[in-house]
Amino acid sequence: MYPRFSENLLISLLIIVHLTITIVADPQINLLSVGCSNNNSTNPSLFLANLNATIYDLKSQIYTSGGRILFATAERSNSSMPVFALAFCRGYLSRQDCITCLTSAASRARICGSETGGLVIDDGCTMRYESAPLLDQSTLPVNNFVCGNETDDTAGFDDSARELLRGLSLVAPQITGYFAAAAYKGVYAVAQCSPIVSQPICSVCLQVAYANIKGCFSASDGRAVDAVCFMRYSNEAFFSANYTVNLAAYFSPGGRNENKAAIIGGVAGGISLIILLVLAIVVFFRRLRRPDERLIGDISRVAEFRGPVNFLYSDLKSATNNFSKDNKLGEGGFGEVYKGTQKNGEIIAVKKLAMTQSKRAKASFFSEVNLISNARHQNLLRYLGCSSSSGEMLLVYEYMANGSLDNFLFGEMRGMLNWKQRFGIIVGMARGLAYLHQEFHVCIIHRDIKSSNVLLDDNFRAKIADFGLARLRPGDQSHLSSYFSGTLGYIAPEYIIHGDLTEKVDTFSFGVVVLEILSGQRNCDSKLELEPQYLLESAWKLYEENSLSKLIDKSLDPNEYSLEEVLRVITIALYCTQEAALRPNMSQVVILLLGEGGPQFELARPPFIMTPGKGCHNAFSSMASSSRVTKHFLSNLVSR
């Protein structure tokens, strides 16, 4: 008795090497994930010089490599600013395509500036660097899955993808180089691990990748990515048939006994083997019947591979003490947020969505869950899972003990942030938005960037929160007029007046929040009885009078910052609030912030505040008077 997937799978895989698939050369530079360490080097110029030299070494090694798996490591260790790096390409890429992919990855890593660690994952390659030796584990986890479009033949395609990927997750760790590719019934798939990791780490990573990628099985293609491993499937060939491995040889009589033994746990002997195989098959097919389950057991042991979890309502109810008022953290336009403590002691934040229980609402809920679970970045609030079994729709996030940024600017903690912390928060926000706009596989526009939607972790790292208002930008459209959302004072004028929705809407809001951070003033306080001055109007007036220093928060210690540096950042903030066509994208903002200069030209005051002294509410009233959608829009605005 031998382990097997199914007779059809064995037969199909035995003849796969005879298939002829013509693939056009393609470096596959589609970006899947990018992350930075958030630790700045003390000597940026030296670190970047060493990093550039190390990346050059990586590409040189791959260019001269004679192996099938294109992989290289390089280092500059004899320096006060050491760099250790690795790069590897998918096993089906040509040498030239591999170098092209790594060149693209190196370019994308520039967003990390002089930070001492970075990770870029493209469809075709992975590049990683740190300031310390790379260990046999994932130190920059990005466990994530990315799904394509829905397929027409869901049932048949799902079954084929499930069987094929399960086989690859078992076989790839047993192959030298940790790479395996195969095809089965119109499904093409690969599984790969970083060549520097141990076999057990590779196995665990691919098991969790398989559990995560199952969330894509109704789609025509999907990917699961991590700092350690990579898994992908598609209904179209993306590799040549000569790169496929005969998976059947690992499960058929007489085929690679040592690998079979390793796959099923290293157990030898007839009776023990049969018992274990029966148990494995039972567990395997139970998992097939429950495609949405995650490998909780594996995840709890290897935290860096943690993926989204379906929580039980009863567990969340218990964790929040029945959603008691004492556990309530806050309330937003889309529901209440509660602090919860799980049985293992982990503290979480539970968002109880205020939504109708219609089919459309539930569909929107699951669409939002799918969206936020795919968006992973160090400057985005980490989504842990959801629950909808009780009829109530709950989202679970990591808990931020420091709360939201607005409390440190206008609340009880006012004046507690120094210049270094404020600048770090600004850069973190910019990076998070750049990821949503330019680095994620689709463009996500948040639409409600404000200080209360920026949370702070224990190290005061910015975490952009509240994706309840985020929406996908249509593939070839930017004009939306039927649905509006946002917060008065932060919304870009073109969105109010015309309903034009582009990523530049978030750029505008970012600029306003930066002005709040640097001035310690609310952009527009609707709670004041008297007409308050609009912060953006004040900032532009001071810019034109060459008196921007008057805007700086008086609670900042002048001995802790360079006046020139603060004025440069204020100017960048104003750059972000110009007319949409003149605003930078967020990737450009990151580069400006981490550089030494600001915009090298005169800025232009936006037309909607051309008249001095309008005040906060009058400024928005003037915008509304020319709007085609004024009444509908203003009725949907959240004014806080």
Q: Which residues are annotated as a binding site for ATP?
A: 352
Asked if residues 348 and 340 have their Cβ atoms less than 8 Å apart, the reply is yes
Asked if residues 178 and 193 have their Cβ atoms less than 8 Å apart, the reply is yes
Residue 448 known to be catalytic = yes
CB-side exposure of 118: number of CA atoms within 13 Å? 26
What does the DSSP 8-state code read for residue 178?
Answer: S
Buried b / exposed e along 16-43 (16+ C-beta atoms within 10 A): beeeebeeeebbbbebbbbbbbbebbee
Q: Concatenated DSSP letters for 441-475? A: SS-EE-S---GGGEEE-TT--EEE--GGG-EEPPT
Residue 66 CB burial class (10 angstroms; 0-12, 13-18, ≥19): exposed
Separation of alpha carbons 504 and 329, rounded Å: 31
Strand 309-310 and strand 383-387: the pairing is: parallel
Of the residues 123, 158, 448, 466, only one is catalytic, namely 448
Amino acid at 235: N
Handedness of CA 233, 234, 240, 241 (dihedral sign): positive
Asked if residues 155 and 215 have their Cβ atoms less than 8 Å apart, the reply is no
* Residue 6 Cα distances to 180, 593, 637, angstroms: 19, 56, 56
What does the DSSP 8-state code read for residue 151?
Answer: P
Q: Nearest Cα to 525, choosing from 553, 488, 491? A: 488
Q: Nearest Cα to 188, choosing from 237, 152, 244, 123? A: 237
Q: Nearest Cα to 492, choosing from 517, 512, 516, 470? A: 512
First CA to last CA distance, the chain? 68
Separation of alpha carbons 252 and 246, rounded Å: 11
How many helices and strands (H and E) does the chain possess?
19, 20
Which H or E run includes 236?
Answer: none
Strand partners, 318: none
Strand partners, 292: none
Separation of alpha carbons 570 and 539, rounded Å: 9
Separation of alpha carbons 590 and 263, rounded Å: 46
What does the DSSP 8-state code read for residue 275?
Answer: H
Asked if residues 488 and 637 have their Cβ atoms less than 8 Å apart, the reply is yes
User: What is the C-alpha radius of gyration for the chain, rounded to an integer number of angstroms?
Assistant: 26
Enumerate the known binding-site residues: 352
Name the residues annotated as catalytic: 448
